[in-house]
């Protein structure tokens, strides 16, 4: 079984860890994820950066319908990563009732299987559960 990324260019791998790959404007500093080719604010070029692995929960909700890759009852929400970027992502189940401000860490790894391949994607988990935070 091989591992395929959810989308090309989502991750930066360095020092044995994977991070979300953001784009920072070379002119105004606006940072976004996924990394845009040009700044969403001013249209200038962006450079790729590794977004911080730590994040803070903004809000979470439980999704009652199953989706292609997640069972009914999965949790999603918005988080703010260290670079200040808001990211919408799957969340660990135990975050369903977590308050805003809960400290998180990104978890990059296989989240589901498609056509026999593990799909490498991202989710956020409680910071205390992280093995590398
Ligand atoms: Zn800009």
| Residue 126 CB burial class (10 angstroms; 0-12, 13-18, ≥19) | middle
Do 75 and 92 meet the contact criterion of CB atoms below 8 Å apart? yes
Answer for the pair 123, 110: CB distance below 8 angstroms, yes or no: no
Query: Considering the entire predicted model, what is its pTM?
Result: 0.89
Q: N- to C-terminal Cα distance for the chain? A: 28
CA of 25 to the centre of ligand 1 (A): 5
d(C-alpha 61, C-alpha 91), whole Å: 9
Say which residue, 14 or 110, is predicted with more confidence. Answer: 110
Cα of 27 vs centre of ligand 1, distance in Å, is: 5
pLDDT over 70 percentage in the chain: 96
The pLDDT of residue 1 is above 90: no
Q: Indicate the length of the chain as a whole number.
A: 133
Task: Specify whether the CB–CB gap between 92 and 105 falls below 8 A.
Answer: no
Is the pLDDT at 17 greater than 70? The verdict is yes
User: What residues have their beta carbon closer than 5 A to ion ligand 1?
Assistant: 25, 27-28, 30, 39, 41-42, 44
Among 1-5, 7-11, 57-61, 109-113, whose mean pLDDT is lowest?
1-5
Q: For 118, what's the count of Cα atoms within 13 Å in the CB-facing half-sphere?
A: 10
Reported as a pLDDT band with limits 50, 70 and 90, residue 133 is: very low
What pLDDT is stored for residue 119 in this prediction?
95
């Amino acid at each position: 079984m091989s591992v395929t990324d959810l989308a090309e260019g989502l991750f930066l791998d360095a020092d044995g860890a994977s991070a979300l790959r953001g784009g920072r404007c070379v002119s105004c500093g606006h940072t976004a994820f996924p990394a845009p080719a040009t700044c969403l604010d001013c249209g200038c070029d962006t450079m790729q950066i590794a977004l911080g692995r730590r994040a803070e929960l903004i809000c979470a909700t439980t999704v009652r319908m199953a989706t292609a890759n997640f069972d009914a009852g999965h949790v999603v929400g918005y988080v703010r990563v260290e670079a200040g970027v808001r990211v919408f992502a799957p969340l660990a189940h135990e975050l369903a009732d977590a308050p805003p401000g809960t400290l998180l860490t990104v978890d990059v790894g296989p989240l589901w299987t498609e056509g026999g391949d593990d799909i490498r994607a991202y989710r956020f988990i409680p910071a205390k559960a992280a093995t590398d935070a």
